[in-house]
Amino acid sequence: MTTEPEDRIDPRIERSRMVILQAAVEELALVGYGGVTIEAVAARAGVGKSTIYRHWPDKLALIADAFETFHEQMVPDLSSRPPRDAILLLLGHVAEVVVDSTFSRCIPALIEVAERDPRVREFHHRYAADRRQALVDQIARGIRDGDFRADLDPELATMALLGTIFYRRLMTPEPLHPSNAGELIDTVLGKRTVTPDGG
């Protein structure tokens, strides 16, 4: 007799979970962190409050799960790519998300509340550090492979790359267009070295 794996997720539960997570992000983008309530998320998702509380103890846990889940779904696959190409793909993705998306409208909301709420600040800084690490690792790999100059600091270079994107989004009227990611990489990391055979 065939038995179902004990850890198999019921598709109906997973669909409901994704609808709730999407509703949480949309609420955050629309009304800011302070305006988000479990009642409003439940209404937007078309579920009862009890359904949400069965999976998340409070709104921070819900929003944190939404950010982690959608990041996993959206982040590009960097495997089997040379460091510079992986960095270009990753930065282009970040710039595209930041230019115009529900997540881009969540950024100011999180920054604002993180200044006043220690729990949100801890999540915000940890989430940013975890996401940043992928870029740090690719730059470090490029230094080891000789693609970038040996005196680069991977962490500082990452801050310069991402900092430019988020500064343009938050502090200027024109976000960095994804098509300009290559120019940003050339400016911060140096242009690609052209070998005698044209490589």
Predicted confidence at residue 2, as pLDDT, reads: 44
pTM for the predicted model, two decimal places? 0.83
Per-domain residue ranges for the chain? Answer: 11-63, 75-189
Residues in contact with 43: Cβ distance below 8 Å, sequence separation at least 6, in sequence order: none
Cβ atoms of residues 78 and 134 within 8 Å: yes
**75-189, CATH topology level:** Tetracycline Repressor; domain 2 (1.10.357)
pLDDT digits (tens, 9 = 90+) for 118-164: 999 999 999 999 999 999 999 999 999 999 999 999 999 999 999 99
Q: What is the CATH number of domain 11-63?
A: 1.10.10.60
Cβ atoms of residues 62 and 142 within 8 Å: no
Cβ atoms of residues 127 and 66 within 8 Å: no
DSSP state of 18: H
pLDDT digits (tens, 9 = 90+) for 10-51: 788 889 999 999 999 999 999 999 999 999 999 999 999 999
Say whether 75-189 and 11-63 share the same fold: no
